[in-house]
Amino acid sequence: LLGEEGPQILSCLERLHRRGTRILFDPSPLAGDIAPALRKRILAISDVLTPSEKELDALGGHEGGERLVQAGKTVVWKQGARGGVVQAPRERFSYEAEPCLSVDTTGAGDSFSGALLYALAQGGTLREGIALAARCAAKTVELRGPHGFWKKRDGFSL
């Protein structure tokens, strides 16, 4: 959403949302740099948001997160090695980070959000999705540098 093609990407997402597609928005550390009008539009169509603490601040802090939940959104506040907090319209819970030996945190948030999106798309519950997401993020931080592909034998399932 930061580049010149951001408005076109957002228009495509809005069309998908109108057709019933659920949208997960992982804001990125540059969330505060998204133009306010675009940020408002992406928040309007997002069903699930997965901000870190810094990203949550860019979205209005805890009060902003609470407003999003009151508007029917699910907010997964990622707190790295401390786990995180899930606030959804009908449930709130904390989750633990998966124990691991952290080598490089690059991509952990993306792995987390991708796994959560996968689990939800497969019909998993929010709790199942969070558990899978925490396992994938832990696996990611155990690897240094660009990451390859995981195989079924790595034990990832709902």
User: Looking at residue 147, what is its pLDDT?
Assistant: 55
CATH code matching the domain that covers 1-96, chosen among 3.40.50.970, 3.40.50.300, 3.40.1190.20, 3.30.70.520:
3.40.1190.20
Pairing type for strands 74-78 and 48-49 reads parallel
Domain ranges of the chain: 1-96, 98-158
User: Looking at residue 155, what is its pLDDT?
Assistant: 57
Tell me how crowded residue 21 is: count the other CB atoms within 10 A of its CB.
Answer: 11
User: Looking at residue 31, what is its pLDDT?
Assistant: 86
Q: Under the phi-then-psi rule, with left for phi > 0, alpha for psi from -120 to 50, and beta for the rest, what region is 145? A: left
User: Looking at residue 131, what is its pLDDT?
Assistant: 97
User: Looking at residue 154, what is its pLDDT?
Assistant: 59
Q: What is the pLDDT along the chain (158 residues), one digit of tens a residue?
A: 888 999 999 999 999 999 999 999 999 888 888 999 999 999 999 999 999 888 888 888 888 888 888 899 999 999 988 999 999 999 999 999 989 888 888 888 999 999 999 999 999 999 999 999 999 999 988 887 655 555 556 555 55
